[in-house]
Structure 1
């Protein structure tokens, strides 16, 4: 099984606070760990295997706490040339009305095009930091 670049992007976009993903470079697959895992024994065995990994088989993907989706909103705002809109959007981040304000200003589709690019850039940085190449849209550990 091959892990595609898109698989990593999708995993990060769906990440919850307690989720952890690892790239298993030997089996070439994504490994998912969640506190809500139904089989406690299976999760504990896998966690132990990951903790004892000394050869770099398992590469941890960024967690929810390693990046903040609000950073993407701030980056979007900093790219805007409309000072009035950027000010309003900056205030809406704290109140959780960011997308509502974008929709009101007819800019929501622009945001939906921008956000996935942020995740793609995050994955590219992760690949570079962990010496993982992308060949034919598939991940390969160097």
Structure 2
């Protein structure tokens, strides 16, 4: 990864992470960069759970990407463990640089190391560019996802 470091997120990274989460039309509707309290609470919960990996990509001392990797032990598929990739974001200035590919490749390698037999992710139906990106990396659109807001 050259000068790129992928490491666990810290409290000091939250502002940059939230800015990336909010930096598109969907994220702008869902995120609140001016109130970091809920994000800091979430980081504490994530950091205390060994199955959760909130990661940042750092280049030149600056956070330029993020993703969350969740390890899910299960009974289905003959007791398989799977991982779920969520919240993949790349700083606007880094898009097209290959950073997204490096982040996903990191997540796949970590999933293998954690004993996962399957890596899965979801992507909002409107993110067609992201769909092409994931397909290029070998992911297949095999299921229909459903959500229920609580």
TM-score, normalised by the number of residues in structure 1: 0.26
> Greater Rg, structure 1 or structure 2?
1
Structure with the bigger RCO (C-alpha within 8 Å, sep 6+) is 1
Higher helix share: 1
